[in-house]
Structure 1
Amino acid sequence: MTSTGASRAPYIALTPDATTFDDNIPLARFGTSEADVALRRPDHRDGSASQERLGAKWRAFASKCKTVYKNNIGLLLVATSVAFSSMMSTLVKLMNSIDPPIPMLELIFVRMSMTGIFCVLYMWMTNVPDPLLGPKDVRWLLALRGVFGFIGLSGSYFSLQYLSVSDSTVLQFLAPMCTGIVGALVLKEHFTRDQALASLLSLFGVVLIARPSFWFGHSASKAQTVLDPPVVIDGRSDYTEVTPAQRLSAVGFAMIGVFGATGAFTTIRAIGRRAHALHSVVAFSIQCVIVSALIMVVLRTPVVLPVRLDWLGVFLAIGFCGFIYQMLFTMGLQRETAGRGTMAVYIQIVYATINDFLFFHSTPNLLSVIGTAIIISSAVYIAVSKKDPGLHKRQQSLISPPADHSLEEGLLENQEDGIEPSERKDDANVSVNPIKAPNPPHKGKIEGKAEA
C-alpha cells in the first residue's frame, strides 16, 4: 500500500518569480474590466432613460401646479376680479379727462344699472331660477349683502370729499383683515397666524405705495402717484384746505365703508353656493340703483349727459368691467374662506400701478416698487401654503358630529367640493358604518338548546 504523501502531486506556485514577461502574452485583455468596457460601449437606452426621467419630473411639476390651482381657484378668481376693478378706475380717470367730471351718485346709478341688467339677462338666458330675488332660503342674506355693499361703496366715495385717495385707500384696505377676523368669529373659519401676518405685510405694502399724508406728510401725498382721485366730488381737489373736523368726518365715512365691505364679504361667504354668484350681484345692484336715484332726487344732483362718442364708449366699458368684477369676485369668495379670499384684494393696488404706467406714463418710485414686491410675495406665500381643503373637515367629522347651522351650510358645501371622490367614499365608510356590539342570544333559545 502506497503512502498518501507519495500519491499526491507537489504544489506548483503560479505566482511569477520574474518581473519581465514574454511579449507574446496578450495583456490588453486584462488591462480593462468588463464594467469599464460596458461604460465605454454606447448604449441606445441612455437617451430613452433620460427622456423618461425628464418626463417624470415634468409630470410631477404639472401635478403640483394642478394641485396648487385646485386649492387656490377662489383666490385666483378674486385676483382676476380686482384686475377689472382697477381697469374700471382707470377708465373713470380717462372719462374725467374727456368731459367734465361725472357726479358720484350718477356714476353709481349708471354703473350698477348696467351691471344688474347684464346679470339678469345672463341668468335668464342660462335658465337660472329666480333671477331677481334669488332662492327663498337665502333672500334675507342677499338683501343683507346688498345693504352692506351699498354702505361700503357710499362710505368709500364720500370719504373722498375731504380725504385724498391715498389716505382713503389705506383705510379701505383694512376691510380684508377685518373680514378674516369676522369670518373666524362668526363663520368659524380658519384665520391662521400666517394669514394674519401676510395681511399685515400687504397692508404695509399698500402704505408704501399710497404714502398717506398722516404718515408721509402733504409733500409726499401731493406727489404724482397711481392713486389720483377717480371722481371729483363737489369740485374739490385741494385737500390742504380741509379743516380737522372735516377730515375727521371723512375718516368716519371711510370706517363706515370698511364696516360695509366687511359685512358684504362675510355675507357672501355665509351664502356660499346656495345661490348663484350673480344673485348676490343683482341684490347689490338693485339696492345701489334705488338708493342712488333717491339721493339724487333729494339733493337735486345735476345729471351729466354724454356729448361725445368716446365718452359714451368709455362709460359702457366701465359698466362692463364692473359687471365682470362683481361676478368673478363673488365666485371667488364662494370658493374660498373670507380671510384668504380677501387677501387677493391687496393686489388691486399692484394693477393700479401697472395701469398708471401704461395709460398715464407715470413711473413708480422706489417705495412703490418695494410695496408691490411685498404685496405679491405675501399673496404667493398664501397661495402655495394652503393645505388640503378637505383635511380639516374630515378630521373634525371623525372627532365630533357636525353642527347643523343654517349659516354654515354654504361653507360646508364649499369644503366638501374640494374632496376627491375616493376620499368621500372613505369618509362615508367611517361615518355610516359604525362598529356595533353583538346582540346577545335570547335566554329561551339557550335553555331550549340545553334541553335538546
Structure 2
Amino acid sequence: MTVSGKNPQPAASLKRSKFRHIGIFFMLLTCVCYSANSILAKVIVVGAVEIGFYRVCGMYLFVIPILLRHGVRGVDDILGPRHIRKFLLLRGFVGSMSGLTFYLAVKHASPGLATSIAFMDVVLVPIFGRIILKESLTPVDGVLACITFSGVVLIARPKFLFPSAEGDAENFVGITYAVASAVLASGTYLTLRKIGNSVNPFVPTFYFTTVSLVLYSVIIIVSGEFGIPCLAQVALICLLVLCGFFGMIFMTLALHTERPSTISVINTLQIVMVLLVQILYLHDVPPTSSIVGSCMIFSTSICLGIRKIVNEKRSRSQNKLEDGE
C-alpha cells in the first residue's frame, strides 16, 4: 500500500502517446510491483520497522537523481514554497506511518487480508474530505462506506459477532494495523490535495523518504531491535526496494498516459493478485467470510472507479455542448 504525488492532466499525454492505452499496461506493472512488495514484506524475516528503513534508504538512491534531473536543485525548490511546507511535512509523516502500519499488518496477518483492508482508503477519503476540507459527500459514498466497513467486519470476525470463529490475537492485531494504515493513507491523499500542483511531483516523495528515514531511525534506536540480515535476506530486501521504486515510477507513467479514474479501477487488482499469490505460493487460504469481506471491499473500489469514469464522460460531454454553443 504504499504510497505519491499528483501529476499533470493526462489528456494531452494521451494524444501524444503512440500507444493510446499504454497507461493501462504501466498500471498493471504497478499492481505487480506493489503486490510483490506485500508478499516480500511477509516472507522477509526482519521486522516491519527495519523493512521500512531499508526501503526508504533504497528510495533515496533513486529520488535524489530524479529531483536533479527535473531541475529541482535549489533549497527552495526542494523544500517547496514556505506556505505549504507544513503540509509537505505532514504528508511525509502521515505517509511514513501509513507505510509502517501496513508492514506491521502484513507481519501479523495474512498479506491478502491486510491489502484488502488497506483499500478502505478509497471510501475514507470522501468521508474525511467532507469533515476536514468541507467537500461534498453523496449518498452513494455513504452506501459504499457501509459495504466496506461490513467487509472489514467479515474479515476481522470479532468474537461478539462470530462466537464460533477461530481467530487469534495476532491476526486481530494485524487487522487493526491495516485499518490504521488505511486511515493514515486517507490523510496522505488529503494533504496531497491541499498541496496540489504547487511543487514538483517528486518533492512530496522526497519529504516522504526524508521523514520516514528519520522516524524509522529513531524507532530503531529507541527499541534497540536492529540486526544485520543474512545474504539471502539482503537479496529479498533489495528486491522489495526495487519493487517499491518501480511501482512508483510505473504509477507516475500511468498517470501521465491514462486517466486517473481508469487507474483507480485497475489498481484494485492488487487485492486479487496478493490473495492469489498468498493461496498458491504461501499456501495460506483465508476463511470463507474473510474472502467474502475482501470481495466486498474490492467491489466498492470498482464501483468508485466506475463512477469516476462516468462523471468524467459527463463532464467532457458537457464541455463539448458548451463549446458548441
What TM-score do the two structures reach when normalised by structure 1?
0.52
Alignment match, 2:216 = 292
Structure 1 residues 390 and 326: alpha-carbon distance in aligned structure 2, compared to 1, 3 A threshold: same
1:86 equivalent to 2:35? Answer yes
Q: Is 1:265 matched up with 2:211?
A: no
Higher helix fraction (1 or 2): 2
> Helix, strand or coil: the match of 2:167?
helix
Judge conservation of contact 2:41–2:51 (CA < 8 Å) in 1. Answer: no
Following superposition, the deviation at residue 107 of structure 1 comes to 1.1
Of 54, 70, 81, the residue aligned with 1:136 is 81
Percent identity, please: 20
Within-5 A mapping of 1:306-317: 306-308=230-232, 311-317=233-239
Q: 1:81 to 1:271 in 2, by over 3 A?
A: farther
Q: Distance in 1 between matches of 2:255 and 2:135?
A: 13
Q: Relative to structure 1, is the Cα distance of residues 81 and 279 closer, same or farther in structure 2, using a 3 angstrom cutoff?
A: farther
Give the TM-score normalised by the residue count of structure 2: 0.68
* Contact 2:271-2:298 at 8 Å conserved across structures: no
Structure scoring higher RCO (CA < 8 A, sep ≥ 6) equals 2
Q: Distance in 2 between matches of 1:255 and 1:372?
A: 13
Amino acid at match of 2:95: G
Structure 1 residues 63-212: aligned runs within 5 Å: 81=30, 83-94=32-43, 96=44, 101-128=45-72, 133-136=78-81, 138-156=84-102, 164=109, 174-208=120-154, 210-212=155-157
- Cα distance between partner residues in 1 of 2:230 and 2:142: 45
Q: Is the 8 A contact 2:24 2:263 kept in 1?
A: yes
What does 1:222-237 align with in structure 2 at a 5 Å threshold? none
CA contact (8 A) 1:151 1:260 kept: yes
Matched, 1:359 2:281: yes
1:192 and 1:343 mapped to 2: Cα distance? 19
Query: What is the rounded CA distance, in whole Å, between the counterparts of 1:129 and 1:425 in structure 2?
Result: 43
Deviation at 1:90, TM superposition (A): 0.7
Gaps in structure 2 of 5+ consecutive residues: 1-13, 15-21
1:321 and 2:243 matched: yes
Contact 2:91 2:208 in 1 (8 A): yes
Considering only CA atoms, is the larger Rg found in Structure 1 or Structure 2? 1
Write the distance in 2 (CA, Å) between the matches of 1:316 and 1:376. Answer: 30
**Quick check: 1:147–1:287 contact (8 Å CA) kept in 2?**
yes
- Look up the equivalent residue of 2:193 and give its one-letter code: R
- SS of 1:355's partner is helix
RMSD (CA atoms):
4.6
CA contact (8 A) 2:264 2:305 kept: no
Mark the CA change 1:171 to 1:371 in structure 2 (over 3 Å): closer, same or farther. closer
In structure 1, runs of 5+ residues without a counterpart are 1-65, 67-72, 223-237, 393-417, 431-452
Aligned length: 299
Superposed counterparts of 1:373-392, under 5 Å = 373-386=295-308, 387-389=310-312
CA distance in 2, matches of 1:356, 1:378: 22
Residue in 2 that maps onto 1:403 = none
